Structure 1
Amino acid sequence: MTSRTQDARTTESVFRTQDVNIYYGNFLAVRDVSIEIAKNAVTAFIGPSGCGKSTVLRCFNRLNDLIKSFHLDGKMYYHDQDLYAKDIDPVEVRRRIGMVFQKPNPFPKSIYDNVAFGPRLLGFKGDMDELVERSLKQAALWDDVKDKLKAYGTDLSGGQQQRLCIARAVAVQPDVILMDEPCSALDPISTLKVEDLLQELKEKYTIVIVTHNMQQASRASDYTAFFNVEANAKGHRTGYIVEYDRTERIFQNPQEQATQAYVSGRFG
């Protein structure tokens, strides 16, 4: 992997991985992942389908643990704590490291109860009304829904539903928000609203986003990791990071030819 920038190393890192290999059974899905994710920045993972972007993303909050055949070797640190140490509680990891999925998935509950669900589950004792309002404001949704908090979240438009899911994620006051192609099901206007929201959210949170949209990565992220995929003699496909750098360098002056070919649209 090529990484010219020192920026992510001189600023505080939230995640740091060393020689991580990710397996499903005997299948090596992603190899040699060594990367640092800077605090209070947006980092984008880009690359063709099957290159391991989402697989790596889901390792950061241990969602892959739910897949029986999953295991990894190497080291993955969160604030210098080994995320996969035996004494680490995956549930607590997921509280601190929230997730927003590709397809908006609000609960079949009211808008209010969608946002309040996580804090209630965690035993929140403060002012729930204030927390719900603050979370909806952080997700740039409050003005749209403040007069219909009892309406079902599933009745909102697709873009509003995704922002409700973001409000639900921030309501438990995480440290990191992971987003797996959060705009792929949205129209262009809703997509731009979410991208604008990322710039506000990074003031308080560290954000890692998987996207197939090159324009989105170039507009919305501070750092970009380009993943690619290779096939062995048996046709098994393994992902790996080709290059990781400041976003403007990845798109304007990449060091690797494969990166140049991908960001210019010549493949992928």
Structure 2
Amino acid sequence: MATTPATFSTRPKDPQEDLMTSVAGEDQGTLPELPPEPVMEANKLNVFYGDFHAVHDVDLRFGKNEITALIGPSGCGKSTVLRCLNRMNDLVAGARVEGEVTYHGKNIYDRGVDPIAVRTHIGMVFQKPNPFPKSIFDNIAYGPRVTGMKVDSMDDLVEQALRGAALWDEVKDKLKQSAYGLSGGQQQRLCIARTIATRPDVILMDEPCSALDPIATSRIEDLMMELRSDYTIIIVTHNMQQAARVSDRTAFFTAKADETTGNRTGLLVEFDRTKTLFSNPSDRRTEDYISGRFG
């Protein structure tokens, strides 16, 4: 289970009706308008790649033990925002982040904050499964080993992580075999297990089901909803039905083109409870997107 550190060292015939029949959790209507216990916040977040202004003034709050979905058309900045949440954009040449991203009140972009430590507490699962060219066991043990995490038993930790990712029963007799021998869906669950092995507080997922078949996608979605009891999850998805099925809150992004250069800057249009955003959006742009009028 995650711990809280003190410091760092596809379009349907009737889209709206179909989406609303699958919104996750009947109790969402009781959720407050904004998360009461934000684990992370983005305040006036701006992202630049050289002179290109990729994301403009994003304000978001991510609630404890909630799943937040970031949706919107291609090029609207949602994956860029996700990568800001654990400083993955530090690895992109020419990227610059302005504003604040706080984790338990601490700005992760403050001078002296170690980005490796940030990524230990805020793990990430990528769009395409990316197991290491190692055994299943060594994939899970890799993070704890390289970060120097103190564990009583690596065997127990590996089992715990694989159980947490609903993969243990499928691989317990082949832990020494290459992770490349697993199916695509199993590889993605392995990557989730590898992420939770370092005991993060937050899990970021960048379109984790886009490369998977419907059965594997359903397994991952079920897993996300199970993991919510222990983690805060933030997911980027192009699949609005998926956002409706699994998330507690949804943020809708769009992009505005510069009249001079044609460059498109990502903007946050609306952030609300998932049930509210899909049934009664407050912005016409949101309604147009979820009804299939654009995007």
Establish whether TM, by shorter chain, passes 0.5: yes
Q: Pick from 267, 273, 277: which aligns with 1:250?
A: 277
Which residues of structure 1 form unaligned runs of 5+? none
Counterpart position of 1:113: 138
Counterpart position of 1:188: 214
Counterpart position of 1:261: 288
Counterpart position of 1:7: 32
Q: Pick from 134, 140, 147: which aligns with 1:122?
A: 147
Residues 31 and 273 in structure 2, CA contact (< 8 A), matched pair in contact too:
no
Please state how far the C-alpha of 1:237 moved relative to its aligned partner: 0.5
How many residue pairs get aligned? The number is 264
| C-alpha separation in 2, matches of 1:175 and 1:137 | 17
TM-score of the superposition, structure 2-length normalised? 0.87
Q: Pick from 242, 245, 252: which aligns with 1:219?
A: 245
| C-alpha separation in 2, matches of 1:245 and 1:200 | 22
Q: Pick from 76, 83, 90: which aligns with 1:51?
A: 76
Is 1:153 aligned to residue 153 of structure 2? no
Counterpart position of 2:9: none
Is 1:25 aligned to residue 50 of structure 2? yes
Residues 8 and 38 in structure 1, CA contact (< 8 A), matched pair in contact too:
no
| C-alpha separation in 2, matches of 1:126 and 1:180 | 32
| C-alpha separation in 1, matches of 2:89 and 2:219 | 29
Which residues of structure 2 form unaligned runs of 5+? 1-29
Counterpart AA for 1:87: G
Specify the SS of the correspondent of 1:243.
Answer: strand
| C-alpha separation in 1, matches of 2:94 and 2:133 | 31
The answer to which of 78-87 and 159-168 deviates more is 78-87
Please state how far the C-alpha of 1:256 moved relative to its aligned partner: 0.8
Please state how far the C-alpha of 1:125 moved relative to its aligned partner: 3.4
Please state how far the C-alpha of 1:10 moved relative to its aligned partner: 5.1
What CA deviation, in whole Å up to 9, does each residue of 1:198-257 have, x standing for no partner? Answer: 111111111000000011000011010000001011201000100000001111111111
Counterpart AA for 1:218: A
Counterpart position of 1:137: 163
Specify the SS of the correspondent of 2:191.
Answer: helix
Counterpart position of 2:199: 173
TM-score of the superposition, structure 1-length normalised? 0.96
Please state how far the C-alpha of 1:17 moved relative to its aligned partner: 1.6
Specify the SS of the correspondent of 1:77.
Answer: strand
| C-alpha separation in 1, matches of 2:69 and 2:100 | 21
CA RMSD of aligned residues (A): 1.2
Residues 107 and 153 in structure 1, CA contact (< 8 A), matched pair in contact too:
yes
- 1:221 to 1:6, Cα distance in 2 relative to 1, 3 A: closer
| C-alpha separation in 2, matches of 1:109 and 1:10 | 40
- 1:237 to 1:187, Cα distance in 2 relative to 1, 3 A: same
Counterpart AA for 1:169: T
Alignment of 1:14-93 (within 5 A): 14-93=39-118
| C-alpha separation in 2, matches of 1:239 and 1:122 | 34
Q: Percent identity?
A: 59
The answer to which of 162-171 and 113-122 deviates more is 113-122
Please state how far the C-alpha of 1:9 moved relative to its aligned partner: 3.7
| C-alpha separation in 1, matches of 2:220 and 2:140 | 18
Please state how far the C-alpha of 1:68 moved relative to its aligned partner: 2.4
Is 1:207 aligned to residue 233 of structure 2? yes
Please state how far the C-alpha of 1:153 moved relative to its aligned partner: 0.7
The answer to which of 86-95 and 15-24 deviates more is 15-24
Specify the SS of the correspondent of 1:130.
Answer: helix
